[in-house]
Amino acid sequence: MNNGDHYPFSLKPLPYAYGALEPHIDAQTVMLHHDKHLQTYVENLNKALMDYPQYHNWSLLDLVRHYEELPAEIRTVVRNNAGGVYNHNLYFDTMQTPSGGKPVGRLAQAIKMSFGSYEAFQKKMKDASLEQFGSGWAWLVLSRTGKLEIMSTPNQDTPFAHGACPITLVDVWEHAYYLKYQNRRGEYIDNWFPLIHWEQAEVNYLKCIKGRMEREKR
């Protein structure tokens, strides 16, 4: 049985309607981003793995974290496309209808402790988004040393390569915002903050902490 988390991968449905993120992100952008861009990553990942049955039981996370163990001829294409699928699934899942919500639970405390305030977190996140040259992502992560950090990655790379665990993320590829914001990436980031699904981010955070504790026990 394929629970969807190994080859052949399929497009994870959007957890909301295309228009759910309006007016911050328009329905057409969400539709193209999910149904076309993400679909292409899914298809290219499956194509890359097709002739390598020994990896057909690897989960998406296995592929994202351990692509370096793959044969050289598919390493880069899996790095880009498994990363593309993983990053977009997390991105779409960690947004919701604009609520103006703020961080909750233990994550709220950790943000306050690490950055001083929610506003200081926003500034750092926006800076990282603007400083990422070309295509990539900005992330709130739990670092290797167990601290909250902001980072950016190019292309479809993930924080796992740096020993960090993702909590929330924003897509700064132009396809994520160009229709509505053209070259104004900063304005898009400002409009992304009210979309953050903080309850989901808290779930991601607690999962990161648990994973870290389990690794330390070993």
Q: Could you list the residues that contact Mn ion (CB under 5 A)?
A: 171, 173
Nearest distance in Å: CB 56, Mn ion: 26
Sign of CA dihedral 142, 87, 180, 154: positive
Q: Which two tokens stand for residue 62?
A: 């296995």
Closer to Mn ion at the Cβ: 86 or 173?
Answer: 173
Minimum separation from the CB atom of position 153 to Mn ion (A): 13
At CA 205, angle to CA 35 and CA 45, rounded to 5?
Answer: 35
- The residue whose two tokens read 């808290």 is 202
Output 33 or 126, the one with its CB closest to Mn ion: 33
Least distance CB 33 / Mn ion (angstroms): 6
Closer to Mn ion by Cβ: residue 171 or 202: 171
Smallest separation, CB 118 to Mn ion (Å): 25
| Three-state secondary structure string covering 6-56 | CCCCCCCCCCCCHHHHCCCCCHHHHHHHHHHHHHHHHHHHHHHHCCCHHHC
Residue closer to Mn ion by CB (options 143, 155) is 155
